[in-house]
Structures are given as C-alpha cells and as structure tokens.
Amino acid sequence: MKQNQEIKGRAKYLRETIREHNHNYYVSDAPTIPDSEYDRLFRELQEIEKKYPELKTLDSPTERIGAEPLKSFDQVKHTIPMLSLDNAFTEDELKAFDRRIRDRLKTDESIEYACEPKLDGLAISLVYENGMLVQAATRGDGSVGENVTQNVKTIKSVPLRLRNDYPKTLEVRGEVFISKAGFEALNVMARKKEEKEFANPRNAAAGSLRQLNSKITASRPLSLYCYEVGKVTEGALADTHSGILKQLQHFGLPVVPETAVVKDGKGCWQYYEKMGVKRDSLPYDIDGVVYKVNRNDLQKKLGFVSRAPRWAVAHKFPAQEEITVIKAVEFQVGRTGALTPVARLEPVTVGGAIVSNATLHNVGEIERKDIRVGDTVIIRRAGDVIPEVVSVIKERRPKNTKTIVLPNKCPVCGSAIVSPEGEAIARCSGGLYCSAQRKEAIKHFASRKAMDIDGLGDKLVEQLVIVGLIDHVDDLYKLKLEQLAGLERMAEKSAQNLLEALEDSKSTTLPKFLYALGIREVGETTARNLALHFGSLDALGEVDEETLLGVADVGPVVAKQIYTFFRQPHNLQVIDSLLKAGIYWPAISVKPKLSHPLTGKTVVLTGALGSLTREEAKEKLLELGAKVSGSVSKKTDLVVAGEDAGSKLNKALELGVKVIDEKEFLEMVKS
C-alpha cells in the first residue's frame, strides 16, 4: 500500500515537473534544464504509466504522442461563431477603417488599438473546463468546425491543463502554424524519405492538423499562438484586449510576442511598417497585421456585421511579386483528365523561395492575358497560393515569342483532347487508358454503382497501382492469387475473396458497364438511357453525335464526350480486353419511343412505399423516361410520397409541386 502511494506520488510529481518544463521551453522560451534531463524525466513517467495504466491521466504529458487513427472527424458547433476579418490593403483603407470607428463612436478622442501579426496558419478553438483541455475544433465555416482534440493534444505549446486562477469555462481562439525552421526540417526529412515536399508552412500546418492518425500529427513541428477568447464562464477578464492576452499568458497559454498597443490610425500604420521590415526575420510566416479596438466596452458598442467584427481589420501585406521570363510551357494532366498549362520560368526568388514554375490556369486565361513563350512576365507568390503569372510586360516582348497552343493529343497517353465549346477546361479523352487518370478510373470502375467489386477499396487500388500489378481496369481480371497474397496486409483468404468478387462482377448489365467506363458526363441515368436507346455496346460505338442527341438527357456536350470516347483506339482496346476477360450482360431489346405522361419529367421519391422498394420504383420511372432526383426544387414536376414522408414532402407543398400517393403512382405507371 505504501509503495503504491509512493508510485502515485512520483507520477504526480513527474507530470507537474514536466508540465512546468514544457511551459518554460515552449511558452516562455526559457528552458531551465538540458534536454537529456527532460528526456530522463519523460521516460520515467512513461515507464510508470506503462506499468500502472490506472495512474495515467487525461492531461498527462505523455498524451501528446498520438492515439490510434480516426475514421473521420466529428462536427463541432461553435457556441460563439468564429468570424472572419475584413481586409485593408492600403494606407487609405486603414485611414477609412479608423474614420469609421470614430464615426460610429461619435468621438474625436484618441482611439487605442491592440496590434498583432497576422500569422499564416489555421484558426483553432480550444475549450478548457475546470482548467483541463476538453475540446479543440477547427474554424470550419465559422459556425461548425471539425473536432481535432486528439491532434491538438500533440502540440507541445498547447497546455493540457491551465495554470493559476483560470475561469471555470474558457474558450480560447488561436492560430496553429509551423515555424520557418520547422518547415525546413519537415522538407529535409521528406527529401530523405523521397516523399513529396510540402508547398508552404500554411499548407503543411493545415494538413498536419487534419490527419486522422494523430501519431502523424505528433511527428510534425506544430505550434500555437492565442489571440482572443470566446465563451467564458465564472471568471473575470480584463477590460481590454491587450489585458486579456496578458491573462492568457498568466493561464499558461502562448501568445505571439510581437504585440503592441498604439494610438489612432497613425500608430497602426507605424506598426504595419515596422512589421513589414521585421517580416523576413521573424521565425514564422505572416501575411499582414491585425488591428483591434483595445477597449472591450467599445468593441461591444461597435458590434458586428454578418461575417466580421466592426472593431477589427486585417491589414494585408502586398502580394509578393517578381519579374522573370517564360522559357517554355508544358501541359500537365490531372487525375480527372483536366489539362493545366504550366509555365517553366527562368528561376527567380520570390518571398524567400526559388520559383521556377507557375500555373497559367487554362487556355482561356492564356488568351485573356496574351501570354507567350519568351515573354517577360510578373509572377506572384502569395501565402499558400501556387505561383501564378499575373501579367505580361509587353514593352519587353521580343520578336521571336511563340504562341501557346492547346495540344490536340494528350501528352501522357496520346488520346484526343476534348475541349467543349464554352468551357475553359480541356480534358484527355483516354479515361480508361491514360496513366495520369488510371487510379480514379479504376476506383470508379470498381464502385458499387458500377461493377460493384466487393473488397476493392481505394487503398487497395492505390497499392495495386503503386506495385505495378494494374495499369488499366482490364488488368483487374488478370490478377493471380499469389500476386495478391504477396501484398502487404493481404492474407491468402482476403486475396481469394477479391478474386471471387472479380469473378462475380463479370455478370453485370449494360447500363452498369457503360457507367463503369467513366465516360465524362455519363452518370447512371444517362448510361441507362443509352443502353435502352441503342440496345448494344456495338451500336452505341458506331453512332454519330447527331444521333446521340436523340437520346433522353443527352445534350451537345455529353454527345461529344461519348462520341470522342468511342473513337479512341486505347479505350477500345481496354473494352475489348474486358469483354475477352468474360464480362457479359443480358441482351436488351430496344424499346420503342415512349409517349407517357412521366416521360421527361423530374420525379422525387420520399417516404416508404408498401408494394415495392425505392429502387424498384426508381427503375419503373427510368423505364418510362423520367428523371429521378434526390431533392425537391422549383424544377421538380412530381413528388411520390409514401408513409412517413418528411422534409421533402413539406418542401414540395411549400413550392406548390404536385404530390401523389403510392396508389396514384402505381396507376400512373400502369397507364
């Protein structure tokens, strides 16, 4: 008994001591012991908690190492919305902000502003109950965010328990970020592991915080600075913003050091200029500064607009720009087949980073800005935005510039490029064959509404592609037991189950097969209409665009996509290989054109039907040429309401949409 009390006391002492050293190191930036001593204390606590798990507490420093991966994040509704800030970009806009404050307060007296750097990170809400961290949530849309408590617990500058005389409930808002040094170290590690490097600290911080596996978050060099409070109960706060920041430090929470209190717009401008000079030497990235009326009573009097407080503004630094030359332009193919033109630049340093590539977005943007190879251009790199070409300096245009032309064939697979009239985005038509699109094509092919290959999830598809077992969808039916069983985390039983699922999937329907091909703009309904209209794959593959326009739900853009898809030899090779693998479906008799009251109508099903399932009702509607929608709108022609019909029925009644019951529906279908 005495020994247990001694161990319990030792564990408590270690937690409190380590907590104190964490505060000294991460918050006060004044460590009092060497790292080796800290590591010894930490390991001792780990050993005690491992041997006596009942002694482990929720706020133990060892909780920062991360927990088991989550499947998804829960949603959190913010008690007080996390609002955005209005922006100012010039001295005149700053003066206008200061003038609006005076006008609303009806005063000519000096206004005190609290100033702070605007960190380039991710906004976060922390809730402490009785001093203990109980919840952390992202800003989300301002009203609802994601619960990232497990991940935030891994951030060493976030206290799991507050210090001193804290309120019973304290919600504090802050910014999660990665320092410049931490970001460089992160990318050095990525290079060593031959992994993709992070684009910028802001993206790295956001991605790290939103990991479903908090052990990954724990390995990232995240930091936090607090900048305001939300909900507070049973605790007195200072009557100024700057005073509250000092209280937060008193509670053990980290606050950005470069804060200041100034007077009037002139003082704000001087702070802005000072931070602009210091910006590059700061240990973290900032994209501007924030001014807040310092007195809380004046903040309350000024109030809010719909999305932002009237008493605060973010003064953004100018976007960082530089001049360089376009040496060449290449077209990259994305996972959905979209072509993106990328300018290869004469390397130039922008915002502390060497930039050699910039996005040109699309051909329409190239034409609008009149960009050519050989042009001298202004490029911009601002925050987490990919470097872009802002404009051309035409005075420097040489005589031998080259016009940028959209290729007519995919640079990856050689398939034809489809560029629908009126659309800015051009796409590769080799969806079944193009290696740039193969992962998405295979995932879609295997999905439930397509070939419904049980057990072939996204992660397994990624794995099969990475190890080189599949290049295209037809390779799925060439997989062998020994190949699958040799994969990581794939036992022989699982491999056999997948092979059986692949065999089962060979028996399908023509509409499902057409949908599985992943032809752009061809969804379930269009695939069914095509199958019923033409009756066979061969017939569909031979028709022209004009004939396709005679199919229900097929317009000019869809017709062009279908026609082009069946003219690509690569796609036809894959389809032929799939059919040779044994995929088959029942023959379809082409039905005569229907003339039914429901043909072409948009119908919504809601509630439970007694004599048939929702899917059976949907099938009947599709056979009659109706469109089945999942939501009610002004474009809805008819709602079929079964038992316990809810919000869809209410909305239909509000909009004046015709509503019928199951009996009327069956009579209408029979007619």
Residues taking part in catalysis: 118
3-class DSSP string for 346-360 = EEEEECCEEEEEEEC
The SS3 of residue 322 is strand
**CA distance readout (Å), 59 to 4, 150, 163:** 21, 12, 13
Of 39, 46, 43, 65, nearest to 216 by C-alpha is: 65
- Distance between CA atoms of residues 451 and 473, nearest Å: 11
346 and 119 in contact (C-beta within 8 Å)?
no
**Token pair belonging to 671:** 């007619």
| Alpha helices by DSSP H, 170-294 | 180-192, 201-209, 214-218, 241-250, 264-278
Amino acid symbol at 594 = L
DSSP helix/strand/coil, 134:
strand
Residue 391: strand, helix, or coil: strand
Which residues are CB-neighbours of 154 under 8 A, at least 6 positions away? 64, 65, 66, 214, 217, 218, 222
Judge contact between 136 and 152, C-beta under 8 A: yes
Radius of gyration over every alpha carbon of the chain, rounded to an integer in angstroms: 31
Point out which residues pair with 409 in neighbouring strands: 416
Exposure of 444 in the CB half-sphere (CA atoms within 13 A): 22
Length of the chain: 671
Six-digit token string for 477: 């039916």
Pairing of strands 376-381, 417-418: unpaired
